[in-house]
Amino acid sequence: MHGHHKTIAEKILSAKSGKDAKAGDIVDANVDYVMVNDVTGPLAFQEFEALDCQPVREKIVLIPDHYVPNKDVASAQQAKEMREFAKRWNIPNYYEVGRGGVCHQVMIDEGFAAPGRLIVGADSHTCTYGALNAFSTGVGSTEAAAVFATGRLWFKVPESIHVVLKGRLGQYVAGKDLILKLITDIGVDGANYKALEFAGTGVAGLNVSERMSISNMAIEAGGKAGIFPCDSATVAFMKTTDAGKWSAVTADSSAVYCSELEYDLSKLESMVSMPHLPSNGKPVTEVDVQIDQAFLGSCTNGRIEDLRLGAQILKGKKVHPDVRLIVVPASTRIYQQALEEGLIAEFVKAGAFVSGPTCAACLGGHMGVLAKGERCVSTTNRNFIGRMGHKESFVYLASPAVVAASAIAGRIVRPQDLKE
């Protein structure tokens, strides 16, 4: 079944389709899990009901996160439809508000994401699980409904770009800085319909959380997936989740890539993406922008490592009087950890607003919507026009370290630029 010379993407899609598949082939593959959220779910349920069949219950994961706790009547209705679908079909994997969080983090926390798996989600940032050596990608609600019904879906096997990493990140430089730099280098469509496959000695120096930030934003370069190899860090991480059986997938040494990129992590600096595209990256040192809001959270950067770093930078300091800092852990598990470690207390003491897990400000949902002319530095993944509120507001994407430091300074800076 496996011919030689395959990338990780080709191997996973070959294994899941039972075909000797290579880039460009169309395959019909067996999907491990399909996930929908409160925004994309209702349309998928409608499409599924029209098919008039039984769902493949154990493959379906339902996670309300975009507009929860419900912010208005329309969002309450969406969440209610999801709850009712879960009850009607007795879907075991439904994560109620307060028992879940941001969909991609819940997929990871709860062991759905694992090496070698094929996962689709009706949310573009489903590519996050590539950090764990899976092939995961975003699909439309109609495709999600097809997987509800059959457990399968067609895929075009993507070509892969080989991203070779070496060196180690310097202090306060993050995986987020690598992906902002990469998107700036290749453009928002630089990886259209391709997989970014990360490799090289530099991978070992990136913890799994950094890898998640990187895979999460593969889509911002047009990528179908952002895939990491499975190494000792992956194996150790998988022991912290209840994932069941999985098997690692390694690219063949003679695999064929459509192109190659090389990055020395030790040479990277803190980056910021200027409005209104993730590809408008600049080193923070070249930017002088006053801010009204700072947001630390989301599926890109709301993990415990991000919160620890933010709290460490804020310790003994105060959020600038002209700034509101909004901190939102990505999942209930992370929220609980942050409580136990005293991080929430640190944030509150510094003058930040902290909430339970939800997508919040990221998509201009609630808790952090921007007014006309306001500027926000954010750990999220998109800064399109109107993304976080008014179409004349401005979002600057950066790492948790830069967001925390900027909240203190009142303008976009690195932690090392703060006056003692």
CA distance 118 to 137: 8
Q: What is the model's pLDDT at position 179?
A: 97
The phi, psi pair for 217, rounded to 5°, reads -95, 10
Nearest alpha carbon to residue 41 among 99, 100, 86: 86
Write the CA distances from 57 to 93, 136, 178, 308, 344, integer angstroms.
9, 19, 38, 37, 37
Q: What is the model's pLDDT at position 2?
A: 55
Q: What is the model's pLDDT at position 3?
A: 57
Residues of the chain with pLDDT under 70: 1-4, 420
Spatial contact of 386 and 354, defined as CB atoms under 8 Å apart: no
CA distance 134 to 241: 15
- Spell out where 23-116 has E strands: 26-30, 33-37, 60-63
pLDDT, tens digit, 9 for 90 and up, residues 167-190: 999 999 999 999 999 999 999 888
The string of DSSP letters for 297-316 reads EHHHH-SHHHHHHHHHHHTT
Q: For the whole model, what pTM was predicted?
A: 0.96
Domains, the chain, ordered by start: 8-154 (3.30.499.10), 158-240+255-268 (3.40.1060.10), 272-417 (3.30.499.10)
CA distance 308 to 305: 5
Q: What is the model's pLDDT at position 420?
A: 67
CA distance 334 to 331: 5
pLDDT, tens digit, 9 for 90 and up, residues 15-49: 999 999 999 999 999 999 999 999 999 999 999 99
Q: What is the model's pLDDT at position 376?
A: 98
